[in-house]
Amino acid sequence: MSAVPDAPDAPQAPEAPQPVVTPVRVIIALCLFTPFVAMLWVGSYAKVDPTFIGMPFFYWYQMLWVLISTILTMIAYKLWQRDQRARKGGASQ
């Protein structure tokens, strides 16, 4: 047996659509895009000097970007989680 409501639900005001491009999402995109630009711009790091503990610049610069990329990806992920929670919270109110 199915339950049928006695009265139809009161009409609710339509919610305004949330913008797709927000400042937080722009920051997320920059965090994810920056390592690609840094690594694809080979002319900026295709050199030997300065060396760091005997390692040429070419190598230690790329290894540094591994760490920087990890941090930027973590920041982007945390911002994305916060953005999604805010959108779900805003939609239910």
DSSP 5-36: -SSPPPPPPPPPPPPSS-HHHHHHHHHHHHHH
Number of domains observed in the structure of the chain: 1
The pLDDT of residue 56 is 92
Each residue's pLDDT tens digit, 25-48: 999 999 999 999 999 998 888 888
Q: Which two tokens stand for residue 23?
A: 């400042």
In angstroms, rounded to a whole number, what is the distance separating the alpha carbons of residues 65 and 38?
8
Look at residue 93 and tell me if it is in a domain. no
Residue with tokens 């540094």: 64
Does residue 2 form part of some domain?
Answer: no
Domain enclosing residue 54, as ranges:
41-83
Please report, for residues 6, 13, 22, 55, 79, the alpha-carbon distance to residue 18 in angstroms, rounded to integers and kept in the order given. Answer: 33, 15, 9, 49, 17
**If pLDDT is split at 50, 70 and 90, which confidence band does 20 have?**
confident
Q: Is the pTM of this model over 0.75?
A: no
